[in-house]
A and B are shown apart, each in its own frame.
Chain A
Amino acid sequence: MKMDKKTLNINPVNAFSSEAGTTNACKQCAPLGACAAFKGIEGTVPMLHGSQGCATYIRRYLISHFREPIDIASSNFSEETTIFGGNRNFNTGIDNIISQYHPKVIAIASTCLSETIGEDVQRLINEYREIHAGNKQLPEMIFASTPSYSGTHYEGFHEAVFATVKALAKGSEKTGEHINLFGNFISPEDIRHLKEIVADFGIDATLFPDYSDTLDGASWETYQRISEGGTSLEALQRCGSALLSIELGHILNSGNNRTIKRNTSTQSAGEYLQNKFNVVCKRMGLPLGIRETDKLFALLSEITHRPAPEKYRRQRGRLVDLYIDGHKYVSGKKAVIYGEEDLVVALATFASETGLKPVLCATGGESGRLRNTLKETLGEMYNDEIIVGQGMSFDQMESCIFQANLQPDLLLGNSKGYYIARKLDIPLVRTGFPIHDRIGAQHNRTLCYEGATILFETIVNTLLDYKQNKSPVGYKYM
């Protein structure tokens, strides 16, 4: 694989795409993302329509990050099911979930297997409902189409958000006072912070998906078969009559440039509500760093006709002060940033406004929109030197770092890039998903002024720590 910086810039999407498979992927499959989103609905048990292994692998992967019980059922395909169809297993699966969990919602995502053999899950749901028409206790059933060969876990997450809203939202003649806040694939701690902010503005908001309790619960008094918390059914139903929706993230599930037939939707929950119920959708990037957070606060002020509460003005002021304190330590330092596309955009914007230089922005996603979104969001901070890699694996990131001689000072992203940091002998600041080699991933805070404060301090202190450890002098005063 021969590459120079110039070619990478000309054709970033294809420069690294190889017809020879993927080594050390920077992505997971779509059903994983769907399961994470489904955990944000109150009283829900997710079920994967496919082999037992999918549910088990995804449980293990999510549990290793969130460190909470995450029960995901499977319709447990056998050879017979694969040949004759999953009808019977689907029904047994639903029966057994109901009898063990008594859920309010069963949220079903498909897998590569069930999609390939052409299972019509919506029909299976309808038939199940018909058979049990007399049963008033029947849980809601939601279906997201998430074939693993189409998109990544990030598309799976947004497909599930969309499918849930589509299944549950109801319109109303009267527009309410409340708003919808679609929070993206963020940490439970960040969800809590967003809820705190809108509450402090006095806004009645439905944040979805809200897995801040289900995936980050307290120690329990009694064992809960379904973890407490999540966005309630009532809140999801009234999404259709909201004053407006705020959707965090520009790219979401907006495209997969290698798709042949559209199995997954390329419509977000916010767009759906706008088209179907005329709920205005305001979309903005993840509020990471001052520039992007200011936009969110400006919108909240516009909605409420009131300035941001003093508390947040102080937080912003302290963050500016912190940026000043730390700017010399990060100035000109080169960062490799990777993860889900919207996270990469947000981290790159944040990094750039502090003086940290993104040299490689990489993602396993393939929306085809990463470079333009970076351009738009970074504005005058954007430069053509930034290598943008879509559909990129960790293996390709590593080659790129060496071949383009990037000499980064730091990696910023999930824990799977650790081996590259180790090889390069540079630090990794962990954020995003997954973080499998540290505790507290559920508390990883990055959003708004306080989140940026924590992230900036972590980055500066990591760089200082590195410098201190590498110094032959061992200064105690940095």
Chain B
Amino acid sequence: MIKFLQGREEQIVTKGGDARELVGGRPSLAGSVSQRACVFCGSRVVLYPIADAVHLVHGPIGCASYTWDIRGSLSSGPELHRSSFSTDLREKHVVFGGEKKLYQSLNELIDKYQPQAAFVYSTCIVGVIGDDVESVCRRMTKEKQIPVIPVMAEGFQGSKKDGYKIACDALFSLIGTDHSKEISPYSINILGDFNLAGELWMLTGYYRKLGIQIVASLTGDGRVKDIRNAHRAALNVVQCSGSMMHLAKRMKETYGIPFMKVSYFGIEDLSDALYEVAGFFKDAHIMEQTQTLVKEELQHLIPALEPYRKALQGKKAAIYVGGAFKAISLVKALRLIGVKTVIAGTQTGNTEDYKLLKAICDDGCILVDDSNPVELSEFVKQTGADLFIGGVKERPIAYKLGIGFCDHNHERKLALAGYEGMLNFAKEVYETVSSPVWQFVNRPNQ
């Protein structure tokens, strides 16, 4: 058994072995080599896909450079989100302040690109050097007649999760400022889908078949005008609840819009999501359409998955992803293709999320919050996992341990949501686990 860092004992639990609950939401320990990012990252990823807005990062160059065109979020129209705008602060701005440069940058960018809105992200040093970002944004809003929204997301002020909340508040400030869109009584907002590899378009395809209108997508393939009209939808459907629940709650409080939490990953969760949304409208036709759609999709999908299930039966997976709800969907989706989850961890889950995650995992599964490469590599050795599901930072850990890897992070270019996505997922898991390259590798744990 490995020794964990002092202070992390409560963030690691083995189901069936430990009676206690896994504790989430703690700040990362210095020197632990956490896989987490920062507040800025949280707000940046949530707002990133809004394609007709300028996203200006106010700070030295790094934060903008590292977030340039990294998400696989597609747009059906403008692609402003794929450029990286930075005030590129230098020493003189640190000494004399960066407000002037911020003003000039906004002025030029808005004139050049004519965006529908601008988001200004403040990075670590902005507060420290005393720039009044909010006042510059107010001035620009007035001068340019578009919303210029400060996103006060200094990296050190908490964790990525706090950044989600700040992004939600920024979105909330836009909502309710336009009433020009035509809205059907059967309308929803999609919260927490980021249109990675066009996943949103799969969902809009399903909802179109059901006769449900999507008022705004927050934020995949996002448009400012849609977001401004979002308060007029009948229902908020929230995926990735870790990032978007705050917005759903605020919209319920202010506009009385009810919300439901869903997941579009895996057959079970996706079908449940569609039925729940259909059920909300209490309309026989919509329900009928839903039944037809699910039936048709499953008729194709179940036999298509069968060869993968057979080949993967008994394989073991390690999951380490951003949010707990994704982890829960993954456990279920893996089970459907015969794969057992032996490690389930997340960067940002909270104690309540972990109760749900633990409930659906099998005995012996190691649950972990805010893990790091040392722990993850030890857990893989301990459990004999055949596959790792995570992001770019976890990939080399898996490969050096000689096991397969599936990217389920926001950089991926393969759609994994929806029915089609489930098939892609099974195929990807199968291809990596059964690749002939592993014949040349001695697994350290075998």
Residue numbers of A with Cβ under 8 A of B are 18-25, 27-29, 31-32, 47, 50-61, 63-64, 67-79, 81-82, 89-90, 92-97, 99-101, 111-113, 116-117, 147-150, 152, 217, 219-225, 258-261, 263, 395, 416, 419
- Per a CB cutoff under 8 Å, which of A55, A152, A221, A419 touches B442? A221
Interfacial chain B residues near A24, Cβ < 8 Å: 68, 83-84
- A25-B65, A32-B62 are contacts. A150–B30 as well, Cβ < 8 Å? no
Interfacial chain A residues near B88, Cβ < 8 Å: 21-22, 25
Confirm or deny: B249 has a beta carbon within 8 angstroms of a beta carbon on chain A: no
Interfacial chain B residues near A92, Cβ < 8 Å: 29-31
Q: What separation, in Å, do the CA atoms of A62 and B152 have in the docked complex? A: 27
Q: Are B128 and A69 in contact, with the CB atoms below 8 A?
A: no
Complex: chain B residue closest to A72, CB-CB: B33
- A53-B40, A76-B34, A81-B156 are contacts. A152–B68 as well, Cβ < 8 Å? no
Cβ of B324 to closest chain A Cβ, rounded Å: 19
Give the residues from 86 to 140 in chain B that come closer than 8 angstroms, CB to CB, to chain A: 86-95, 101, 104-105, 107-109, 123-125, 128-129
Confirm or deny: B377 has a beta carbon within 8 angstroms of a beta carbon on chain A: yes
Q: Are A53 and B68 in contact, with the CB atoms below 8 A?
A: no
Q: Are A63 and B392 in contact, with the CB atoms below 8 A?
A: yes
A-B CB contact pairs (8 Å), 23 listed: A20-B104, A21-B85, A21-B88, A29-B61, A50-B156, A53-B39, A60-B392, A69-B373, A69-B397, A73-B30, A77-B155, A78-B157, A96-B5, A96-B31, A100-B32, A100-B33, A112-B94, A113-B125, A116-B125, A147-B60, A149-B94, A152-B61, A261-B91
- Per a CB cutoff under 8 Å, which of A68, A79, A225 touches B396? A68
Interfacial chain A residues near B104, Cβ < 8 Å: 19-21
> B50-70 interface mask toward A, CB cutoff 8 Å, 1 = contact, 0 = none?
000000100111111111110
Q: What separation, in Å, do the CA atoms of A69 and B393 have in the docked complex? A: 7
- A20-B105, A149-B94 are contacts. A63–B395 as well, Cβ < 8 Å? yes
Complex: chain B residue closest to A61, CB-CB: B66
Q: What separation, in Å, do the CA atoms of A101 and B62 have in the docked complex? A: 27
Give the residues from 225 to 280 in chain B that come closer than 8 angstroms, CB to CB, to chain A: none
Complex: chain B residue closest to A21, CB-CB: B105
Q: What separation, in Å, do the CA atoms of A390 and B28 have in the docked complex? A: 39
Cβ of A81 to closest chain B Cβ, rounded Å: 7
- Per a CB cutoff under 8 Å, which of A59, A71, A116 touches B128? A116
Q: Are B396 and A20 in contact, with the CB atoms below 8 A?
A: no
Complex: chain B residue closest to A227, CB-CB: B400
- A21-B86, A147-B91, A220-B400 are contacts. A97–B444 as well, Cβ < 8 Å? no
Q: What separation, in Å, do the CA atoms of A478 and B192 have in the docked complex? A: 52
Q: What separation, in Å, do the CA atoms of A87 and B30 have in the docked complex? A: 11
Q: What separation, in Å, do the CA atoms of A356 and B348 have in the docked complex? A: 52
Interfacial chain A residues near B35, Cβ < 8 Å: 56
Interfacial chain B residues near A71, Cβ < 8 Å: 33, 372-374
Q: Are B392 and A64 in contact, with the CB atoms below 8 A?
A: yes
Cβ of A418 to closest chain B Cβ, rounded Å: 10
Confirm or deny: B38 has a beta carbon within 8 angstroms of a beta carbon on chain A: yes
Q: Are B28 and A52 in contact, with the CB atoms below 8 A?
A: yes
Q: Are B34 and A74 in contact, with the CB atoms below 8 A?
A: yes
Interfacial chain B residues near A20, Cβ < 8 Å: 101, 104-105, 107-109
Confirm or deny: B198 has a beta carbon within 8 angstroms of a beta carbon on chain A: no
Interfacial chain A residues near B30, Cβ < 8 Å: 73-76, 89-90, 92-93, 96
Interfacial chain A residues near B400, Cβ < 8 Å: 68-69, 217, 219-220, 223-224
Interfacial chain A residues near B158, Cβ < 8 Å: 78-79
Interfacial chain B residues near A395, Cβ < 8 Å: 83
Confirm or deny: B441 has a beta carbon within 8 angstroms of a beta carbon on chain A: yes
Interfacial chain A residues near B34, Cβ < 8 Å: 52, 56, 74, 76
Interfacial chain B residues near A117, Cβ < 8 Å: 128
Residue numbers of B with Cβ under 8 A of A are 3, 5-6, 27-41, 56, 59-69, 83-95, 101, 104-105, 107-109, 123-125, 128-129, 155-159, 372-374, 377, 381, 391-393, 395-397, 399-402, 440-442, 444
- A21-B86, A76-B27, A101-B374 are contacts. A219–B65 as well, Cβ < 8 Å? no
Interfacial chain B residues near A61, Cβ < 8 Å: 66
Interfacial chain A residues near B33, Cβ < 8 Å: 55, 71-74, 97, 100
Q: What separation, in Å, do the CA atoms of A31 and B61 have in the docked complex? A: 11
Q: What separation, in Å, do the CA atoms of A352 and B83 have in the docked complex? A: 32
Complex: chain A residue closest to B86, CB-CB: A22
- A21-B86, A69-B396, A113-B156 are contacts. A52–B31 as well, Cβ < 8 Å? no
Q: Are B91 and A260 in contact, with the CB atoms below 8 A?
A: yes
Q: Are B41 and A53 in contact, with the CB atoms below 8 A?
A: yes
Complex: chain B residue closest to A150, CB-CB: B91
Cβ of B223 to closest chain A Cβ, rounded Å: 22
Interfacial chain B residues near A89, Cβ < 8 Å: 30
Cβ of B427 to closest chain A Cβ, rounded Å: 20
Q: What separation, in Å, do the CA atoms of A308 and B87 have in the docked complex? A: 50
Q: Are A29 and B444 in contact, with the CB atoms below 8 A?
A: no
Cβ of A421 to closest chain B Cβ, rounded Å: 14
Complex: chain B residue closest to A24, CB-CB: B84
Interfacial chain B residues near A260, Cβ < 8 Å: 91-92, 95
Q: Are A18 and B93 in contact, with the CB atoms below 8 A?
A: no
Q: What separation, in Å, do the CA atoms of A434 and B361 have in the docked complex? A: 39
Interfacial chain B residues near A29, Cβ < 8 Å: 60-62, 65
Q: What separation, in Å, do the CA atoms of A90 and B67 have in the docked complex? A: 27
Q: What separation, in Å, do the CA atoms of A25 and B399 have in the docked complex? A: 31
Q: What separation, in Å, do the CA atoms of A54 and B373 have in the docked complex? A: 17
Interfacial chain B residues near A419, Cβ < 8 Å: 69
- A29-B65, A261-B91 are contacts. A78–B156 as well, Cβ < 8 Å? yes
Interface centre among A23, A54, A77 (most CB of B within 10 A): A23
- Per a CB cutoff under 8 Å, which of A58, A79, A100, A258 touches B91? A258
Q: What separation, in Å, do the CA atoms of A460 and B431 have in the docked complex? A: 35
Q: Are B91 and A259 in contact, with the CB atoms below 8 A?
A: yes
A22-B88, A223-B401 given; name 15 further pairs at CB < 8 Å.
Answer: A20-B104, A20-B105, A51-B124, A52-B28, A52-B37, A54-B62, A57-B66, A71-B33, A71-B374, A79-B158, A82-B156, A112-B94, A220-B444, A221-B444, A260-B92
Interfacial chain A residues near B66, Cβ < 8 Å: 28, 57-58, 60-61
Q: What separation, in Å, do the CA atoms of A241 and B135 have in the docked complex? A: 58
Q: What separation, in Å, do the CA atoms of A52 and B163 have in the docked complex? A: 13
Complex: chain A residue closest to B440, CB-CB: A219
Q: Are B64 and A25 in contact, with the CB atoms below 8 A?
A: yes
Interfacial chain B residues near A225, Cβ < 8 Å: 373-374, 377
Complex: chain A residue closest to B396, CB-CB: A69
Q: Are B90 and A19 in contact, with the CB atoms below 8 A?
A: no
- A20-B107, A90-B30 are contacts. A63–B393 as well, Cβ < 8 Å? yes
Cβ of B205 to closest chain A Cβ, rounded Å: 28
Complex: chain B residue closest to A19, CB-CB: B104
Interfacial chain A residues near B397, Cβ < 8 Å: 69, 223
Cβ of A105 to closest chain B Cβ, rounded Å: 14
- A73-B33, A148-B62 are contacts. A25–B128 as well, Cβ < 8 Å? no
Q: Are B85 and A51 in contact, with the CB atoms below 8 A?
A: no
Cβ of A441 to closest chain B Cβ, rounded Å: 13
Across the A-B interface, give the 7 residue pairs with the lowest CB-CB distance, nearest first.
A53-B38, A29-B62, A96-B31, A93-B31, A93-B30, A21-B105, A51-B155
Q: What separation, in Å, do the CA atoms of A393 and B37 have in the docked complex? A: 26
